[in-house]
Amino acid sequence: MCGIVGYIGKQEASNILVEGLSKLEYRGYDSAGIAILKDNKLDVRKYKGRLAVLKENLDKNPSKGNVGIGHTRWATHGEPSDVNSHPHANSSGNIAVVHNGIIENYIELKEKLIMKGYKFLSETDTEVVAHLVDMYYEGDLVEAVSKVVKDLEGAYALGVINKENPDKLIAVRKDSPLIIGIGEGENFIASDIPAVLKYTRNIFIMEDGEMAVVEEDNIILMKSDGTPVEKEVYTVNWDVEAAEKGGYDHFMIKEICEQPKAVKDTLSPRLNKENQIRLDDISLTKEDLEKINQVYIIACGTAYHAGLLGKSLIQKYVDVPVIAEIGSEFRYNDPFIDEKSLMIVVSQSGETADTLAALRMAKEKGARTLAVTNVVGSTISREADDVFYTWAGPEIAVASTKAYTTQLVSLSLIALDMANKKETIQKEEYNELIEELRLIPEKLEDILKMDDSIKELAKEICESEHIFYIGRGIDYDVAREGSLKLKEVSYIHSEAMAAGELKHGTIALIEDGTPVIALATQDKLYDKTVSNIKEVHARGAKIISLGKMGNTEIAKSSDRVIYIPDVVDDLSPILSVVPLQILAYHVATLRGADVDKPRNLAKSVTVE
């Protein structure tokens, strides 16, 4: 969690840092700060609260200088407060540090430093780094930082400046993302590309254990032990507007509306006219697939919900058992993994700690690994054997929307490709599914036109205390995603239940008027779901059903019905989730919630 940014050049660093931090707020936003070097002074400003608080302070009292580092925080060690905000400085105020990650052995390091007379001001793990740099500094900042990282255990992307070396900033990474932006007469460091995209498209993506010495006209790349490193420049091929709001009130609704394009971008390059699938560089052959006797799909949150569809499709069409599990539980359940296992990890950010840990565990045990991710150069993309990118473009809102639908499309393509290679799917069925996939972007456009009517629906339920989502089979998977979307942005308590399970306990919570959102898009489960809808309707629930165009039976037991375009059962989640995303968005905005940055959440969860 947390976002870091750094600048060295000729412009006012504070403007660039604040601008960069505004693009990183999705990584955390409970405090923000900068440290600027100028005229042999280090000026540190840091405040609890959103970036706006820091900005207001800088507007009143500018911090002038051309070198600096900045940070936006998602608290782990120590509550959100001014003093716990980054940057952290050494006691003499010469050295400033920003950090994303967790220093796991900070208590031990802190005790040692205290014994040596160092005084700590904050409760953070990061402050040890500032004092360690101080301890090791003997005139060479690069050497000092190299020594510091030898002492550190855990995850870090660090930016370090020292007033005695005003011509450089040092950046180093291990298990937390870090990029270097290459400018002309100026250079940048950042946790993510959007922070520097206004200034440059040329990027170095840092790997674990690498360090960069960033100067105005020069970037020296090395391992943190000083061994030189050569790296290719990655040129960003998407626009800065893609990471900005572009006329929408919020990123969440912008990203919901971008889904037809995101799905098309994910799908089209992978399909040729003959309906053959090209899975980029995925090197899994028919022989490899035949050896695999167990597939694991591991992910967290929304990505896990996408993984559930992957499980259904692979199990059904590829004829291999699939276990889908959340990352934070998987490793502790003594999973049986060996070289005949395939692990598919799904992660928008490609940085989620629990998903990454599962991937590493699978690799250690000799399993084949495949990542479905949205972020090029992310840790997960680099560590997996094969990568399939969801071409959703940058997703800024904390609530995942277009990443989810593109993950569904990606997993569908992967499942169909595997089935085709293994010859476990009939040609006609394969072609039918591919043709259906091609029609999805158009159908998504139709669903987006329902925005006004869904807003009216939102008005009817936005005051509710509890809202339940029910469904059977893959409708239940989508119900889970709909429920997560609603609760995370609106703060209404919500639960998703398998429709048939409701009467085994949860139905006791249904009172007169309790909203129940019932998904009934599966032809083969339609009658059974309709019966479950009737059960809750009879107990006074306000039923909002979601069904396929033409399936009008549900209307008889529903107060409202949302119809999605007709679609083959297996792919219905890619459509049915969208009205639920729109509903969550409108409920949240009607309640005045900060939809793009819900409380207590961060976009990229790099802690376990």
What residues are labeled active site?
2, 603
Site map (CB under 6 A) of ligand M6R, residues 324-363, x = contact = -----------------------xxx--x--x--------
Q: Give the count of beta carbons closer than 10 Å to the beta carbon of residue 500.
A: 17
Is residue 441 within 8 Å of 572, Cβ to Cβ?
A: no
Per CB under 6 A, the segment of 66-74, 128-136, 157-165, 300-308 that binds ligand M6R is 300-308
Q: Closest separation between CB of residue 22 and ligand M6R, Å?
A: 19
Q: Closest separation between CB of residue 69 and ligand M6R, Å?
A: 25
Residue number with CB closer to ligand M6R (66 or 412): 412
Site for ligand M6R in 437-496 (CB under 6 A): 488
Of the candidate residues 303, 308, 359, 543, the single one contacting ligand M6R (CB under 6 A): 303
Q: Closest separation between CB of residue 418 and ligand M6R, Å?
A: 22
Cα-based distances in Å from 404 to 300, 358, 520: 12, 20, 20
Residue number with CB closer to ligand M6R (34 or 574): 574
Distance CA 187, CA 220 (A): 11
Cα-based distances in Å from 560 to 15, 266, 530, 595: 50, 33, 14, 25
Residue number with CB closer to ligand M6R (172 or 399): 399
Q: Closest separation between CB of residue 347 and ligand M6R, Å?
A: 3
Residue that is written with structure tokens 């905005």 in the block: 589
Residue 480 neighbours by CB under 8 Å, 6+ apart: 305, 308, 469, 496
Of the candidate residues 309, 469, 605, 606, the single one contacting ligand M6R (CB under 6 A): 605
**CB-based burial label for 150 (10 Å; 0-12, 13-18, 19+):** exposed
Task: Let me know how long the chain is.
Answer: 608
Residue type, 490: S
Q: Closest separation between CB of residue 353 and ligand M6R, Å?
A: 9
Q: Could you tell me the two tokens for 499?
A: 């429709």
- How many residues bind ligand M6R (CB under 6 A)? The answer is 14
Q: Closest separation between CB of residue 488 and ligand M6R, Å?
A: 6
Residue number with CB closer to ligand M6R (348 or 576): 348
Cα-based distances in Å from 489 to 72, 156, 463, 486, 575: 21, 29, 14, 6, 20
Q: Closest separation between CB of residue 604 and ligand M6R, Å?
A: 6
Residue number with CB closer to ligand M6R (277 or 399): 399
Residue number with CB closer to ligand M6R (181 or 301): 301
Q: Could you tell me the two tokens for 280?
A: 């980029």
Distance CA 297, CA 275 (A): 26
Helix axes 572-590, 451-461, angle to 10 degrees: 60
Residue number with CB closer to ligand M6R (571 or 595): 595
Residue number with CB closer to ligand M6R (309 or 541): 309
Element (H, E) at 103: strand 95-103
How far, in whole angstroms, is CA 162 from its chain's centroid?
A: 33
Is residue 54 within 8 Å of 18, Cβ to Cβ?
A: yes
How far, in whole angstroms, is CA 512 from its chain's centroid?
A: 38
**Is the CA virtual torsion 426, 432, 435, 437 positive or negative?**
negative
Note whether 266 binds ligand M6R by CB under 6 A: no
Site for ligand M6R in 366-425 (CB under 6 A): 398-400
Residue type, 410: S
Residue 348 dihedral angles phi and psi, to the nearest 5°:
-60, -55
- CA nearest to 477, candidates 558, 570, 391, 397: 570
Residue nearest to ligand M6R (CB): 301
Residue 265 neighbours by CB under 8 Å, 6+ apart: 391, 392, 393, 406
Site for ligand M6R in 177-216 (CB under 6 A): none
Residue 592 neighbours by CB under 8 Å, 6+ apart: none
Distance CA 118, CA 259 (A): 52
Q: Closest separation between CB of residue 597 and ligand M6R, Å?
A: 11
Distance CA 394, CA 233 (A): 20
Residue number with CB closer to ligand M6R (200 or 349): 349
Residue number with CB closer to ligand M6R (348 or 522): 348
Q: Closest separation between CB of residue 182 and ligand M6R, Å?
A: 26
Q: What is the CA radius of gyration of the chain?
A: 25
Is residue 596 within 8 Å of 251, Cβ to Cβ?
A: yes
Q: Which residues lie near ligand M6R (CB under 6 A)?
A: 300-303, 347-349, 352, 355, 398-400, 488, 605
